[in-house]
């Protein structure tokens, strides 16, 4: 049997989402094929082996991990999806599911994915990059020169509504929509509670769609799914707490658009040097029907309602088969 470590929890704001994802993954694994080692990281960074409701702290972590054949880090956000645990696995020479150090770190940082997508020629909305130093906020221009943050400088570059995001946060944690100057100021301060790097994007009025990527002998893109949020945008609550939010798979859009989104998703995955899997999110602008990339997620949610497994189920790859493929590719 394959000794498989499922790592979950972690120190990020997405700790609970990771717990939900790992629960679904473990439930859908082939128990005849895998000897499952349930590994929990608490919010303070301590590692435990789980047996039912019992948790025992792992004292010799390196020795413990080296005994495994492969690891599936079902971790979202900082400390799990940002290249840190991937670097640890590389150092220990342990095969693991998902993107490598570079793709994970770049994919986690919304500002730097913007820069890479721009270089790759992938259409995206205009943005402003802000840094927080102590309690002071500064803007960085195209040449990375620092300027004093002034709201009118942002509004001269971007149109309302705007979305303000911590650069290194997932599941829409810390994200606010701003429709005027006062809301923009408050949104920047709110995002600054989660990260010292902040992204302000011009909003797109339109549809939110997503495409899943599975990397094996070749890079495969799933069909495209549409998010119908119960709130103004797909916030953390809309994703996980409000049952009225729903998804439509495949999205009810032209086949040409589906194919264009699939091609752009693969292009974005290649641009960050992705491996294993990713989910790529897009907007379709209402007035123009233009497609804009939103972001790439290198360890997407694996809960029972998550888009990544549902998108591949729609093209005939079951949840369990998808997990098998991801683990097999990691072992290769």
What pLDDT is stored for residue 27 in this prediction? 96
| Domain identity same for 33 and 164 | no
**pLDDT, tens only, 277-291:** 999 999 999 999 999
**Looking at the domain assignment, is residue 260 inside a domain?**
yes
Domain ends where: 174, 202, 230? 202
Rounded Cα gap, residues 110 and 128, in angstroms: 11
Q: Is the CB of residue 137 less than 8 Å from the CB of residue 153? A: no
In 3-state terms, what secondary structure has residue 165?
strand
Q: Do 74 and 16 contact (CB within 8 A), yes or no?
A: no
What was the pLDDT predicted at 231?
58
Question: Quick one: 116 and 222 in the same domain?
Answer: yes
- CATH number, domain with residue 178: 3.30.1490.20
Question: In terms of residue numbers, what domain contains 140?
Answer: 127-202
The answer to whether the predicted template modeling score (pTM) of the entire model surpasses 0.75 is yes
Alpha helices in the chain (DSSP H): 15-28, 61-66, 84-92, 101-108, 110-120, 151-157, 181-191, 236-240, 255-271, 307-313, 319-331
Answer yes or no: do 93 and 118 share one domain: no
Rounded Cα gap, residues 229 and 234, in angstroms:
5
Distance CA 239, CA 233 (A): 10
Q: Which of 169, 202, 235 is the last residue of a domain?
A: 202
DSSP bridge pairs for 165? 199
pLDDT at 305: 83
* Domain match, 144 and 117 both: no
In a domain, 238, yes or no: yes
CA angle 37–38–44, rounded 5-degree value: 130
The verdict on 176 and 279 lying in the same domain is no
Helix (H) or strand (E) holding 11: none
Residues 255 and 326 in one domain: yes
- Alpha-carbon gap, residue 278 to 296, rounded angstroms: 7
Residue 17 belongs to a domain with what CATH number?
3.40.50.20
pLDDT attached to residue 230 = 62
Mark which of 176, 202, 228 sits at the end of a domain. 202
Residues 264 and 152 in one domain: no
Residue 237 has what pLDDT?
52
Q: Is residue 88 part of a domain?
A: yes
The answer to the question of residue 102 being in a domain is no
CATH number for position 302: 3.30.470.20
> Does 178 lie in the same domain as 223?
no
Residues of the chain predicted below pLDDT 70 = 170-171, 230-244
319 plus 230 within the same structural domain = yes
Please give the full DSSP string across 60-95, using - where no structure is assigned: SHHHHHHT-SEEEE---STTTSSSHHHHHHHHHT--
Examine residue 219 and state whether it is found in any structural domain, yes or no: yes
Q: Based on the domain organization, do 233 and 326 belong to the same domain?
A: yes
Q: Are 261 and 292 in contact (CB under 8 A)?
A: no
Residue 297: what are its φ and ψ, rounded to 5°? -120, 110
pLDDT at 66: 97
Structural domains of the chain, count: 3
Ramachandran assignment for 172, one of left (phi > 0), alpha (psi -120 to 50 degrees), beta (any other): left
In a domain, 81, yes or no: yes
One domain, residues 210 and 294: yes
């Amino acid at each position: 049997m394959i000794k498989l470590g499922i790592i979950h929890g972690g120190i990020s704001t997405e700790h609970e989402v990771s717990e939900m994802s790992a629960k679904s993954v473990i439930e859908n694994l082939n128990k005849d094929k895998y000897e499952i080692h349930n590994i929990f990281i608490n919010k303070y960074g301590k590692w435990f082996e789980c047996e039912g409701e019992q948790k025992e702290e792992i004292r010799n972590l390196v020795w413990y991990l080296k005994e495994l054949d492969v690891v599936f880090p079902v971790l979202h956000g900082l400390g799990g999806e940002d290249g840190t645990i991937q670097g640890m696995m590389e150092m220990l020479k342990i095969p693991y599911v998902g993107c490598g150090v570079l793709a994970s770190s770049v994919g986690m940082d919304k500002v730097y994915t913007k820069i890479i997508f721009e270089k790759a020629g992938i259409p995206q909305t205009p943005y402003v990059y802000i840094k927080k130093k102590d309690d002071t906020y500064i803007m960085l221009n195209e040449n990375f020169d620092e300027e004093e943050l002034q709201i009118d400088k942002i509004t001269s570059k971007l149109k309302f509504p705007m979305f303000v995001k911590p650069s290194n946060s997932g599941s829409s944690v810390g994200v606010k929509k701003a429709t005027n100057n006062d809301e923009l100021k408050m949104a920047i301060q709110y995002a600054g509670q989660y990260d010292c790097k902040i992204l302000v994007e011009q909003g797109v009025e339109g549809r939110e769609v997503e495409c899943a990527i599975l990397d094996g002998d070749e890079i495969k893109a799933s069909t495209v799914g549409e998010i119908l949020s119960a709130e103004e945008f797909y916030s953390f609550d809309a994703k996980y707490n409000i049952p009225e939010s729903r998804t439509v798979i495949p999205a009810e859009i032209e086949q040409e658009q589906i194919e264009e989104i699939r091609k752009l998703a693969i292009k974005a995955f290649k641009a960050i040097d992705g491996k294993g899997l990713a989910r790529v999110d897009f907007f379709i602008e209402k007035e123009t029907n233009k497609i804009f990339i939103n972001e790439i997620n290198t360890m997407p949610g694996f809960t029972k309602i998550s888009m990544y497994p549902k998108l591949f189920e729609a093209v005939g790859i079951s949840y369990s088969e998808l997990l098998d493929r991801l683990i097999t590719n990691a072992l290769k």
